[in-house]
Amino acid sequence: SLQQAPYISSKISMTDMISKGPSLVFGASGEQGRVVVEGLVDTGYSPVYAFTRLKHDTYLTDAIGAKLITGDLENPDDVRIALRQTRAQTVYLVTTTALPTEIGQTTGFSAAATAEFQAIVNFFHLLKAVYDEDKLPRHVVLS
């Protein structure tokens, strides 16, 4: 059997190690995004911001308790504003495209999947640019 290092408590989970401060979920209105938002709210993250193209989503706001941010992931200004205004410590990018194993390896993808992959690459470049401006460390999860 594997032995645990003596300095790591077996009672500490990954969620205990990450701040439960502001969280921002891009792609929050899709099936997977809703589950991420629900999980964050249920485990005590607060506030949880749900970034979506929808102007109203009573399920996310009323039933779950998230704060809705309307914007377009492909609009750099929308993403930049959301990152700056929420000051989210944890950022989730929820997508349904299977990513290639290496950046730039897009052979075999449909045009839509290739465009979504490029949007993901652009998102991470933008995230870096915002960090360079505000120096706010963020945990980033790609799903």
Q: What is the pTM of this model?
A: 0.76
6 vs 42, higher pLDDT = 42
DSSP letters, 33-84, are: HHHHHHHHHHTT-SSEEEEES-S--HIIIIII-PEEEE--TT-HHHHHHHHH
**Per-residue pLDDT for 116 more than 50?**
yes
Percent of the chain with pLDDT over 90: 44
Statement: residue 5 has pLDDT above 80: no
* 12-69 pLDDT, tens digit each: 455 454 558 899 999 998 889 999 999 999 999 999 999 998 888 888 888 888 999 9
Asked if residue 82 lies in contact with residue 49, where contact means CB atoms within 8 angstroms, the answer is: yes
